[in-house]
């Protein structure tokens, strides 16, 4: 077999790094404990990438991303700039599931990076004392932005749902948190009155599921009552995680 030249190898490496980035990685997964500590590596793509010893979960997640491809399974593909697959640690015990990307997320190809995202980060880091990148994985019910931030439609949810399920099966988190009514209603397959049912445990595809308010709703209705509600829900999640 002919050995590929340096430029071909670099191009292949760059494509692989881009694929990982699209799958939500900020670190390079490898199968075995080749490295005793994480080694910072300046990548050919915009953000610094670290080498990380990890498991089959990372590989499986990349396979789900590959399977999704340049998706045109529903009409949301027509208006999107980027597919927002998910981000965080594939080894995380905790997965947050939101509704769908907004304008900032569509622009950057990453979930929860706008105002609601900042609130979610604050809930995770200040409220729960966890690290968003290391301790959680974040994704959405639909992976492309609904125009004008409308709720995702039934066919769009149905087209995208197998990929959410495969993501969760790859990660195998201890707890999944549904953020807001559309996510909760989609995962439970019924109309969920979120203000009544938040803070309650459910089951989704064999995973423990907690329902809470969406951070965008919290920003709109920033009352002591709502803030306490989310705080109480996250306390239950931490207890379930043994933290
Ligand atoms: N709201 C969501 O539900 N998901 C995002 O990714 C951003 C905002």
Radius of gyration of the chain (CA): 18
What is the mean predicted confidence (pLDDT) over 223-243? 98
- The confidence score (pLDDT) of residue 37 equals 39
Closest CA to 192 of 205, 202, 177, 182: 182
**How far does residue 117's CA lie from ligand 1's centre (Å)?**
7
Domains and CATH numbers, the chain: 1-54 (no CATH), 73-240 (3.40.470.10)
Instruction: Say yes or no: CB of residue 111 within 6 Å of ligand 1.
Output: yes
Distance from C-alpha of 228 to C-alpha of 243, rounded to nearest angstrom: 19
Is the pLDDT assigned to residue 148 strictly greater than 80?
yes
Residues found in the chain? 243
Residue to substitute in 87, 88, 116, 185 for testing ligand 1 pocket (most ligand atoms within 8 angstroms of CB):
116
Q: How many Cα atoms are found within 13 Å in the side-chain-facing hemisphere of 172?
A: 6
Is the pLDDT assigned to residue 211 strictly greater than 50?
yes
Q: Which residue has the tokens 């622009």?
A: 107
Q: Which residue has the tokens 């005793």?
A: 36
Q: Which residues contact 4 (CB under 8 A, 6 or more apart)?
A: 12
Q: Is the dihedral of CA 101, 104, 106, 111 positive or negative?
A: negative
Instruction: Say yes or no: CB of residue 86 within 6 Å of ligand 1.
Output: no
**How far does residue 102's CA lie from ligand 1's centre (Å)?**
6
For residue 6, the tally of other CB atoms under 10 A from its CB is 8
First-to-final CA distance of the chain? 52
Write out pLDDT tens, residues 157-192.
Answer: 999 999 999 999 999 999 999 999 999 999 999 999
Write out pLDDT tens, residues 71-119.
Answer: 999 999 999 999 999 999 999 999 999 999 999 999 999 999 999 999 9
Q: Which residues contact 223 (CB under 8 A, 6 or more apart)?
A: none
Pairing of strands 175-179, 136-140: unpaired
Distance from C-alpha of 25 to C-alpha of 46, rounded to nearest angstrom: 13
Distance from C-alpha of 224 to C-alpha of 232, rounded to nearest angstrom: 12
Q: How many Cα atoms are found within 13 Å in the side-chain-facing hemisphere of 100?
A: 22
Q: Which residues contact 74 (CB under 8 A, 6 or more apart)?
A: 142, 144, 155, 156, 159, 160
Q: Which atom from ligand 1 is nearest to the alpha carbon of 138? A: 6
pLDDT band at residue 238 using 50, 70 and 90 as cut-offs: very high
Is the pLDDT assigned to residue 26 strictly greater than 90?
no
Q: Which atom from ligand 1 is nearest to the alpha carbon of 179? A: 3
Give me 79's structure tokens.
């208006």
- The confidence score (pLDDT) of residue 17 equals 75
Give 87's strand partners. 138
Is the pLDDT assigned to residue 51 strictly greater than 60?
no
- The confidence score (pLDDT) of residue 46 equals 44
Q: How far is CA 188 from CA 142, 179, 184, in A?
A: 15, 13, 6
What is the mean predicted confidence (pLDDT) over 35-64? 60
What does the mean pLDDT of the chain come to? Answer: 88
Q: Enter the pTM of the model.
A: 0.83
Alpha-carbon 166 to chain mean position? 12
Q: Which atom from ligand 1 is nearest to the alpha carbon of 140? A: 4
Is the pLDDT assigned to residue 43 strictly greater than 80?
no
Instruction: Say yes or no: CB of residue 101 within 6 Å of ligand 1.
Output: yes
In percent, how much of the chain has pLDDT > 90?
A: 77
- The confidence score (pLDDT) of residue 35 equals 37
């Amino acid at each position: 077999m002919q050995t590929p030249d340096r430029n071909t190898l670099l191009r292949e490496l760059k494509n692989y790094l881009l694929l990982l980035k699209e799958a939500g990685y900020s670190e390079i997964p490898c199968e075995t404990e080749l490295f005793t500590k994480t080694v910072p590596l300046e990548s050919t793509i915009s953000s610094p990438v670290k080498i990380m010893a990890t498991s089959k979960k990372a590989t499986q997640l990349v396979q789900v991303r590959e399977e999704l491809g340049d998706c045109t399974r529903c009409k949301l593909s027509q208006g999107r700039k980027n597919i927002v697959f998910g981000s965080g640690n594939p080894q995380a015990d905790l997965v947050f599931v939101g509704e769908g990307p907004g304008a900032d997320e569509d622009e950057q190809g990453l979930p929860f990076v706008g105002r609601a995202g900042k609130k979610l980060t604050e809930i995770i880091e200040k409220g729960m004392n966890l690290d968003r990148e290391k301790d959680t994985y974040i994704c959405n019910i639909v992976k492309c932005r609904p125009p004008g931030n409308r709720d995702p439609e039934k066919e769009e949810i149905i087209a995208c749902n197998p990929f959410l399920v495969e993501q969760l099966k790859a990660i195998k988190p201890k707890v999944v948190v549904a953020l807001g009514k559309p996510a909760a209603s989609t995962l439970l397959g019924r109309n969920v009155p979120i203000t009544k049912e938040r803070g309650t445990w459910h089951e989704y595809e064999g995973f423990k599921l907690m329902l809470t308010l969406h951070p965008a709703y919290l920003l709109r209705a920033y009352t002591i009552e709502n803030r306490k509600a989310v705080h109480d829900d996250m306390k239950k999640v931490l207890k379930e995680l043994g933290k």
